[in-house]
Amino acid sequence: MSRNGPLALSFHALVVIFMLAPLVVVCLVAFTPENTLSLPTSGFSLRWFEAVFERADFLDAFHNSLILAFSSATLATLIAVPAALAITRLHFPGRDFLNALFLSPIIIPHLVLGVAMLRLFALMGVSGSFSWLILAHVVVITPYVLRLVLAAAVGMDRSAEQAAESLGAGRVSLFCRITLPMILPGVAGGWLLAFINSFDEVTLSIFVTSPATQTLPVRMYVYATESIDPMMAAVSALVIALTVVTMVVLDRVYGLDRVLVGKQ
């Protein structure tokens, strides 16, 4: 029995269309010459893209989002890798509690976390600090890295580690030359997923950002409450284009199959 019959292919096509249709519509609206959110019917225009690059607040917010996503994803990875190795290889009291603690931000609504961190930062007197904003994002994106690294660590063959250890390899050398390369797809995929989630995070960021540390999603949200024009579509189209270019470059240089599923 064929697994890719007409019914299955039709279903897959509908799913793909359902997922891509909103992105296509947003990209088309970004080229409208009109002053309202509408599809371009009389021609295409770049006026809204020019408007985006003329807005210093959007450029600063984009810069903040890049730094925030890169920093928080890197810190989350540095935390998740040793935590995942300890959870999968060591047996100690509280191991299950530690695992649940790291993964708890996934099930806690970000609205609740945002309100709690807003109160905590106010009591500590660090409201509006970019460094503490990074730490707030680390809390909510660490579970994504941890899950992928846990999967990579559980599925790896430890015979190479045992052979290297029997030949006198030290712990640092063993980790850098054997363990890390074997779990690298999980680490890279986790970092990428954490970067995307941090860059897109808006619910938590609304509560813990300040005008000086405003991220791009928060700036877009604030602008959408003030005005409804195609400039939001232009910003969205630019982000979509940047994401596509990044994924293509990553696929050509390293391979998305290796990053996301660990295929060798």
Residues 6+ apart with CB under 8 A from 109: 203
Average pLDDT, the chain: 84
Rounded CA-CA distance 137/176 in Å is: 27
Q: Does 256 fall in a domain? A: yes
| Mean pLDDT across 49-66 | 90
Q: Single out the residue of 199, 78, 210 nearest to residue 137, CA to CA.
A: 199
Rounded CA-CA distance 185/188 in Å is: 5
Model pLDDT, residue 68: 94
Rounded CA-CA distance 143/115 in Å is: 20
Q: Using alpha carbons only, give the angle 113, 81, 217 rounded to the nearest 5 degrees.
A: 40
The residue to which tokens 């602008």 are assigned: 223
Q: Single out the residue of 98, 213, 199 nearest to residue 146, CA to CA.
A: 98
**61: containing domain:** 56-260
Contact call for residues 19 and 240 (beta carbons, < 8 A): no
Residues 6+ apart with CB under 8 A from 124: 132
Q: Does 50 fall in a domain? A: no
Q: Single out the residue of 212, 188, 258, 238 nearest to residue 46, CA to CA.
A: 238
| Mean pLDDT across 128-153 | 89
Q: Does 239 fall in a domain? A: yes
Total Cβ atoms within 10 A of residue 160: 15
Q: Does 208 fall in a domain? A: yes
Model pLDDT, residue 1: 44
Reported as a pLDDT band with limits 50, 70 and 90, residue 166 is: confident
Domain count, the chain: 1
> Is pLDDT of 173 > 90?
no
Q: Does 34 fall in a domain? A: no
Q: Does 211 fall in a domain? A: yes
Q: Does 190 fall in a domain? A: yes
CATH number at residue 217: 1.10.3720.10
- The pLDDT tens digits of the residues spanning 85-104 come to 888 888 888 888 888 888 88
| Mean pLDDT across 247-259 | 67
> Is pLDDT of 196 > 60?
yes
Q: Does 155 fall in a domain? A: yes
